[in-house]
Amino acid sequence: MSGNSMGLLFTVTSFGESHGPGIGCVVDGCPPGMALCEADIQAELDRRKPGTSRHVTQRREPDTVEILSGVYEGRTTGTPIALLIRNTDQRSRDYGNIADTFRPGHADYTYWHKYGIRDPRGGGRSSARETAVRVAAGAIAKKWLHEQYGIVIRGHMTQIGDIEIPFRSWDVVNDNPFFAADESKVDELEAYMDSIRKSLDSVGARLRVVAENVPVGWGEPVYDRLDADIAYAMMNINAVKGVEIGAGFGCVTQRGSEHGDELTPEGFASNHAGGVLGGISTGQDIDVSMAIKPTSSIAQPRRSIDKAGEAIMVETHGRHDPCVGIRATPIAEAMLALVLIDHALRHRAQCGDVQVATPRIPGRIG
Amino acid sequence: MSGNSMGLLFTVTSFGESHGPGIGCVVDGCPPGMALCEADIQAELDRRKPGTSRHVTQRREPDTVEILSGVYEGRTTGTPIALLIRNTDQRSRDYGNIADTFRPGHADYTYWHKYGIRDPRGGGRSSARETAVRVAAGAIAKKWLHEQYGIVIRGHMTQIGDIEIPFRSWDVVNDNPFFAADESKVDELEAYMDSIRKSLDSVGARLRVVAENVPVGWGEPVYDRLDADIAYAMMNINAVKGVEIGAGFGCVTQRGSEHGDELTPEGFASNHAGGVLGGISTGQDIDVSMAIKPTSSIAQPRRSIDKAGEAIMVETHGRHDPCVGIRATPIAEAMLALVLIDHALRHRAQCGDVQVATPRIPGRIG
Amino acid sequence: MSGNSMGLLFTVTSFGESHGPGIGCVVDGCPPGMALCEADIQAELDRRKPGTSRHVTQRREPDTVEILSGVYEGRTTGTPIALLIRNTDQRSRDYGNIADTFRPGHADYTYWHKYGIRDPRGGGRSSARETAVRVAAGAIAKKWLHEQYGIVIRGHMTQIGDIEIPFRSWDVVNDNPFFAADESKVDELEAYMDSIRKSLDSVGARLRVVAENVPVGWGEPVYDRLDADIAYAMMNINAVKGVEIGAGFGCVTQRGSEHGDELTPEGFASNHAGGVLGGISTGQDIDVSMAIKPTSSIAQPRRSIDKAGEAIMVETHGRHDPCVGIRATPIAEAMLALVLIDHALRHRAQCGDVQVATPRIPGRIG
Amino acid sequence: MSGNSMGLLFTVTSFGESHGPGIGCVVDGCPPGMALCEADIQAELDRRKPGTSRHVTQRREPDTVEILSGVYEGRTTGTPIALLIRNTDQRSRDYGNIADTFRPGHADYTYWHKYGIRDPRGGGRSSARETAVRVAAGAIAKKWLHEQYGIVIRGHMTQIGDIEIPFRSWDVVNDNPFFAADESKVDELEAYMDSIRKSLDSVGARLRVVAENVPVGWGEPVYDRLDADIAYAMMNINAVKGVEIGAGFGCVTQRGSEHGDELTPEGFASNHAGGVLGGISTGQDIDVSMAIKPTSSIAQPRRSIDKAGEAIMVETHGRHDPCVGIRATPIAEAMLALVLIDHALRHRAQCGDVQVATPRIPGRIG
């Protein structure tokens, strides 16, 4: 594979550029017989869609998905499911002035050096627009995991720039533009984001994604550990610079007597492991956090060079998210779903018939 | 692949249990013609070897490696290189009392549930002993990367429990038992580790690994990004709970105007990116940090359950590292080497002949 | 991968059903910088297109290809190339009567048992319509191989049913409906095929495909041998039941003194090896033959069963090729191109810089 | 993967050279809980072992296998099973004189050109000695397939040079040195092989391998068809030049009315398909044939060149099989087992719970 596929048994192969005819993917390995229609996928796409509030890019894309194959009479057939999202709002003129320069913090520079050719229209393949594909594929995975195992995958922002956002309730996450789990923080966040935009700057973020009801036993040690594949999947989202499982970097100052989650007949007494031990799910919640860098494209003048290596100043105008982290919540959920379904299938292949006498301990967040 | 191979073109397939006949791997994809002998590998293995100070496990393993194939008259032939390390110090009696119980924070529980069978001797496959294999395979990768590109890969501890260890100099890292880059901290660390051991406890750690002289252009977006594969590789090391590239979680509170590394005709002005933009290397240092949890096996009594689900108390005696993070430094270096060589080969396959007119900008740590 | 991708470095992921919205693929791994437009692909598709003579299916499909991604300003960018061919002539009524029965020799029976669900419209995914995708992807591979190495890949029919077709000249192959390399045989073949159709029957075929100018050294022993990957690629074409390299089954009665191709300073003295020794190309022509079974769908009544397991008689009417082998020639060429480009890239990855002092011996057909 | 692994879920990674320290493999993906010991594997190895009759190479190798990992208390644990066979009879002097020349029909030439380095000791990696590894890994696969599904995999020679060997009975196959299923042919074969040896020549062969009791539904269209993976597996055996499924090349002259196997409530009426339709198993016997070229290494003088490209004459003395096809029977059985177990696991992953109402039709050989 040349880098645009992920998953061994539930494989997503992605294609498309920001300003080309469209983006999409082929999902190979979805088990047959599951009810599936475009509306199932569209619901998730609409959560990530641009233009939904003033705090995200104002590009107008309906992100309408078409299922090209793999579904017959409303059910998956076991054959590849191809999804296509046509690009409609391609204002390439916004980007024309940057074709010969490199934006600080942007993939312009590396794509140019790697391929010797570069599609400057909206960042081409490096655009975060590709993440719509992940959300679409993830919607299929989410549906199957929920139907087969009752798995629920949800995310929320835990920090935007300097503002920490505590967890209050899942119920409010989809009702505010920040995927905040505490609605009392929304006004503060609105004002904060307005000030960032006014200063022609952008800001980083931190988010968390949780999968509940994952059975014990998923994950393939020693390399394709469940947490290793999660780290891969999260780090391959545009702009992510750090990933944590469970206690994450907090474990550095923990003692073993604190970190190691005790077991009781009623379940684990805590979840510092984040639902994974030895690379295999414990039956507790899978608990993942990640850091997302501030948007690279800002309207302030910055030092850079052009293709000839000459010093220039660059300002990036156009329609950019002032905090790319905000719309990353549904993307991170999708990525977690893609990892989990792949390991569900791998586990079914290898250990399908293993029966263990011990009662399975229900996981719970500590 | 069932989880014990990593790398697409430079593929390491690992085998072996802590107390079985031995551990080892097959390295498939090493380019032909490189000088290689057992001493090249042994030098790296000796850095990770148990029993080198009182701060690590006292298990006595010489970790002597045998090259079984793939080398003829001192040169690699392009065929698979099989490496074997026999286990010699297998005191299985140390572990006999835990066969029917689960240690908090340990993979006992998940292996049992996954496979329905469990090798209790020293943790079996889940033992950190497997990491010797990575160091051995990584030694081959390191050598090739250095010979072909002058790449240097080095790591050092940045924190052990509550004690932060600043970076002073690479020169001292291999001269103290903590892989500390500041020798003035060694006495404090010795005392700290002694106190941890006396309290029958263990502690977490944080380490950093850096690759210098990596060419611009390595990494396969959009999924097999260089940083995504690094995150996968680091998170699949036993006990790692978090991974960062460049600024890592520090980017959450950064502004775009601070985080985005400016370019100048003399090079990048900073390295918050950690050497990767858009999933492709920039030519700067690849800069990775990770968090390692405290050792699970501690001699304190802890609550747990047995296979029947009954409440018990567990104490783990035996020869365990009080801080597994310490010996992780050479392992993390090896993993970074394995990711880099795989991407070096992938890049050579896809873009071998691309020539870009722009002068390449030398990277430097900001 | 769940079976719909082929190639490690030049990866084709196929999707689509005979009577769904369309068919297509994602080509991941095409090197950047190659000139490519839809016309390059269309030319190959037109050679396989249905309805070009009375001896093939009369389904009317223009098979117009759209490039959805991976090409910018007429050049490949190194990112995935997605291709889409919309289905236009979907006369599903032709197939409606077979939804609950199984046609002898057809994949109906196995798809139903495997997936528990079946798309009866034109055979769904099992339709030979999918092979258009291979021809489209193969056109890209062919172009690159020709531009980089001067490789020419051509095929011709060597037998249709009882009629053997000797090789006279490549020049006439594309000028008759049978891909025959001897135009003096065309009248006989026309009459033969007319008689097969009149008898409501179908017939098998044999074809040969040759690649010229392949460099010495491609192929990855010991499993991913060049000839093993060719055998896989040819056998995965619908209806192929046998594959030969070089002397093929003729080698059974050969002596070693006859079969082993002698070497001379001017080149090999013969090519019984078919251009592959030890799984690696020799520099001679790659020479492959295959057997293609007669079309399963025939208008004669045949014994079968229905989904309830009851005995029935089945006749298949509709628009079927009386000899599916005829249109297989461009498909086999495409498959050979896909295998060769993948091994070209794999070789470049592993052995890119190997220089051997010995003069390379030009291959030639014995 | 760099060519020395096969199988997606049951993965065999092979290593070793003819005259190095040893050969072996890592088997990753064997389901946990199966009883396994060295004797299970040794029994199959002994069938392939050199030196068992005067008609095969006289090299003395006990081919004793050691299980290095993956088995605990006599059961597979689900972790990688590493197998090691030490080389003991390495008479490298036999081969010393050929280090600078190329033997006609041998991989010397291509290895040299590919890798720029060559292990001349007994052919190094290109030696048929590597096939012992396949037999060892295949023994594990065979055992699992038999225990889980009652699958029986057996092979027999159908032709050696000019002598066809009809099928009479499986019972006699292992009781004669030729794996002949008709003992009345053994005397003729003995005399024939003696004459071949006396003439300092070698001869080709044809063999057949059959798997009984394979369930309907295995195989992953459209590329990883069961028959495509079988073709790959057989063609990657040293010296195989052709592969057939079912009617094979015989289908060229068949009519559709003859080839397409009719279905009846009692089962299929014939098995021209060879047990595979649309790339998926039908429940009938999987029936595969292959052609094996005559041994390249013969004692007659033959024209060749040396590394400088100069004309020379080459005679190969040493201990070679006069018909490499003979010992290929257990190898072909092993390869079929490896393909089947991989598809068994893939099927279990994707379609584990599909239940089809139709009664499954027992397959039978037509």
Residue B224 pLDDT greater than 70, yes or no: yes
In whole angstroms, how large is the CA radius of gyration of chain C? 21
Across residues D332-358, what is the average pLDDT? 84
Q: Could you tell me the domains of chain C?
A: 5-351 (3.60.150.10)
> Cβ B4–D28 below 8 Å, yes or no?
yes
Across residues D155-180, what is the average pLDDT? 97
Q: Which helix (H) or strand (E) holds A227?
A: helix A226-235
Q: What percent of chain D has pLDDT over 90?
A: 79
* Model pLDDT, residue D95: 55
Separation of alpha carbons B1 and D9, rounded Å: 5
**B195 touches A at CB < 8 Å:** no
- Mutation for D interface: B19, B69, B346, most D CBs within 10 A: B69
Helices B226-235, A226-235: axis angle to 10 degrees equals 160
Separation of alpha carbons B135 and A168, rounded Å: 44
- Mutation for C interface: D102, D244, D249, D254, most C CBs within 10 A: D249
**Mind listing the pLDDT tens digit for each residue in A4-42?**
999 999 999 999 999 999 999 999 999 999 999 999 999
Residues from chain C that touch D356, judged by Cβ atoms under 8 A, are 112-113, 116
* Model pLDDT, residue B364: 38
Residues from chain A that touch D345, judged by Cβ atoms under 8 A, are 349-350
> Cβ A223–B125 below 8 Å, yes or no?
no
In eight-state DSSP terms, residue B52 is S
Confidence of residue B15 (pLDDT cuts 50, 70, 90): very high
- Whether the Cβ atoms of residue C193 and residue C294 lie closer than 8 Å to each other: no
Residue B16 pLDDT greater than 60, yes or no: yes
* Model pLDDT, residue C123: 84
Confidence of residue A99 (pLDDT cuts 50, 70, 90): confident
> Cβ A255–B201 below 8 Å, yes or no?
yes
Longest Cα–Cα distance in chain B: 69
Residue predicted with more confidence, D59 or D15:
D15
Nearest CB to D33 within list B80, B117, B124: B117
D112 Cβ contact partners less than 8 Å away, ≥ 6 residues apart? C356, C358, D102, D118, D307
- Mutation for D interface: A75, A144, A341, A348, most D CBs within 10 A: A348
Across residues B106-115, what is the average pLDDT? 92
Q: What are phi and psi of A262, to 5 degrees?
A: -70, 150
Across residues B287-305, what is the average pLDDT? 95
Q: What are phi and psi of B234, to 5 degrees?
A: -75, -40
Across residues B225-253, what is the average pLDDT? 98
**In the structure encoding, which two tokens stand for residue B20, read together?**
């079985």
> Cβ D17–B79 below 8 Å, yes or no?
yes
- Whether the Cβ atoms of residue D312 and residue D283 lie closer than 8 Å to each other: no
Which amino acid is it at D139?
A: A
Separation of alpha carbons B172 and C229, rounded Å: 51
* Model pLDDT, residue C362: 47
According to DSSP, the residues that pair with B313 across neighbouring strands are: B303
* Model pLDDT, residue A357: 41
A281 is in an annotated binding site: no
**In the structure encoding, which two tokens stand for residue A23, read together?**
């983006």
**B2 touches A at CB < 8 Å:** yes
Average pLDDT over chain B reads: 91
Q: How many other C-beta atoms lie within 10 A of the C-beta of residue A60?
A: 12
Nearest CB to A294 within list B14, B107, B251: B251
In whole angstroms, how large is the CA radius of gyration of chain A? 21
Confidence of residue B100 (pLDDT cuts 50, 70, 90): confident
Nearest CB to D348 within list A8, A221, A352: A352
* CB neighbour class for B193 (10 Å; exposed up to 12, middle 13-18, buried from 19): buried
* Model pLDDT, residue D1: 60
Cα dist. B199→A317, B196, B298, B313 in Å? 59, 5, 10, 18
Q: What percent of chain B has pLDDT over 70?
A: 93
Separation of alpha carbons C23 and D266, rounded Å: 37
- Whether the Cβ atoms of residue D358 and residue C308 lie closer than 8 Å to each other: yes
Residue predicted with more confidence, B32 or D365:
B32
Residues from chain C that touch D360, judged by Cβ atoms under 8 A, are 113
Q: Where are the beta strands (DSSP E) in C71-219?
A: 71-72, 75-76, 81-86, 152-160, 163-164, 205-212
366 residues of chain C, pLDDT tens digit each? 689 999 999 999 999 999 999 999 999 999 999 999 999 999 999 998 877 788 877 777 789 999 999 999 999 999 999 999 999 876 655 555 677 889 999 999 999 999 988 888 878 999 999 999 999 999 999 999 999 999 999 999 999 999 999 999 999 999 999 999 999 999 999 999 999 999 999 999 999 999 999 999 999 999 999 999 999 999 999 999 999 999 999 999 999 999 999 999 999 999 999 999 999 999 999 999 999 999 998 999 999 999 888 999 998 887 778 899 999 999 999 999 999 999 999 999 998 754 444 444 444 333
Instruction: Tell me the range of A65-74, B43-52, C306-315 where mean pLDDT is highest.
Output: A65-74
By C-alpha distance, which of B315, B328, B289, B333 is closest to B57?
A: B328
The dihedral through the CA atoms of D134, D139, D144, D145 has a sign that is: positive
Q: How many other C-beta atoms lie within 10 A of the C-beta of residue A208?
A: 20
Residue D156 pLDDT greater than 90, yes or no: yes
Interface of A with C in 45-104 (CB under 8 A): 66-70, 72, 75-82, 84
The dihedral through the CA atoms of D266, D272, D278, D279 has a sign that is: positive
Q: What percent of chain A has pLDDT over 90?
A: 80
Per DSSP bridges, beta strands C311-314 and D65-67 are unpaired
**A254 touches B at CB < 8 Å:** yes
Closest Cα in chain B, distance from residue C229 (Å): 17
Across residues D248-264, what is the average pLDDT? 97
B199 Cβ contact partners less than 8 Å away, ≥ 6 residues apart? none
Across residues B186-198, what is the average pLDDT? 95
Residue D333 pLDDT greater than 70, yes or no: yes
The interface predicted TM-score of the complex, written ipTM, equals 0.96
* Model pLDDT, residue C356: 46
* Model pLDDT, residue A360: 44
C48 is in an annotated binding site: yes
Confidence of residue A1 (pLDDT cuts 50, 70, 90): low
**D351 touches C at CB < 8 Å:** yes
The residue of chain B with its CA nearest to that of C32 is B351
**B4 touches D at CB < 8 Å:** yes
**In the structure encoding, which two tokens stand for residue C350, read together?**
């592993």
Q: What subunits touch chain C, counting only 3 or more CB pairs under 8 A?
A: A, B, D
Q: DSSP secondary structure string, D298-342?
A: -SS-EEEEBTT--EEEE---SS--S-TTTTHHHHHHHHHHHHHHH
The dihedral through the CA atoms of D100, D102, D107, D111 has a sign that is: positive
